[in-house]
Amino acid sequence: MYALIVPAAAPFVLLATVMGLSWWEEHVLPPAEPTEAPVQTPITPAVPAVLPQPVRPHEPLTSEVAGR
């Protein structure tokens, strides 16, 4: 009979644990003061990136396009 009670009670034990930790966090722990986030300057590249143009399907494949 105890073999049936223990698995059935496990979710309630976990729920009680989470609720107890929540209460402890609110009533026992000191309030956490948010720290100021460091101001970050946006990083801008010195030279803009040049992306290669994709090969169009209707263009013939040449040695220049193939990279040979």
Burial class for 13, CB neighbours closer than 10 Å (0-12, 13-18, 19+):
exposed
Band of residue 8 on the pLDDT scale cut at 50, 70, 90? very high
In a domain, 9, yes or no: yes
CA–CA separation, 25 vs 15, rounded Å? 15
Band of residue 1 on the pLDDT scale cut at 50, 70, 90? confident
Residue 2: domain span: 1-27
CA–CA separation, 30 vs 19, rounded Å? 18
- Which helix H or strand E contains 65, and what residues bound it? helix 63-66
pTM metric for this prediction: 0.43
Write down the pLDDT at residue 2: 77
In a domain, 65, yes or no: no
Which is more confidently placed, 46 or 6?
A: 6
In a domain, 45, yes or no: no
In a domain, 63, yes or no: no
pLDDT tens for 16-56 read 999 999 999 989 887 777 767 667 777 776 777 777 877 66
